[in-house]
Amino acid sequence: MNMQNDVRTVTQVNMTSKGQVLIPKEVRDALGLVPGQPVSVGINDRGEAVILPERGVESAEQRSARIGAAIARLRGTIDTGFATTDEYMDFIRPHRLDPE
């Protein structure tokens, strides 16, 4: 089976003698999995193992952790070429500099 065509991220991991598998960080982040959160594990109609986050009622702490993780993944990934917010605002709204 060529998993590369079926999924976005493939990382090979080993199963322990107790049947435990480490879910790689990039997969946990993509699914929004957080420590202590229940997950559903099953087999789909193609015979593949599937891990899905339980999307029941999300506590305030879980929501905060999920949003914080998403922000942390994005932090520092965009280079606007501007050193400050004011420089950027002057660029996109040059009328800010015009006295009225």
pLDDT tens, 60-78?
888 899 899 889 888 888 7
pTM: 0.46
Tell me, what DSSP letter sits at residue 15?
B
Question: Could you tell me which of 60, 73, 71, 58 has the C-alpha nearest to residue 25?
Answer: 73
User: Does 48 share its domain with 12?
Assistant: yes
Instruction: List the domain range (segments joined by +) for residue 69.
Output: 57-100
Residues of the chain below pLDDT 70: 1-9, 96-100
d(C-alpha 100, C-alpha 91), whole Å: 18
CA distances from 68 to 39, 53, 78, 98 (A): 20, 17, 17, 38
User: Does 29 share its domain with 73?
Assistant: no
User: Does 4 share its domain with 51?
Assistant: yes
pLDDT on residue 4 = 43
Which amino acid, one-letter code, is at 45?
A: D
Cα four-point dihedral sign 20, 65, 62, 11: negative
d(C-alpha 54, C-alpha 34), whole Å: 11
User: Does 11 share its domain with 51?
Assistant: yes
User: Does 62 share its domain with 95?
Assistant: yes
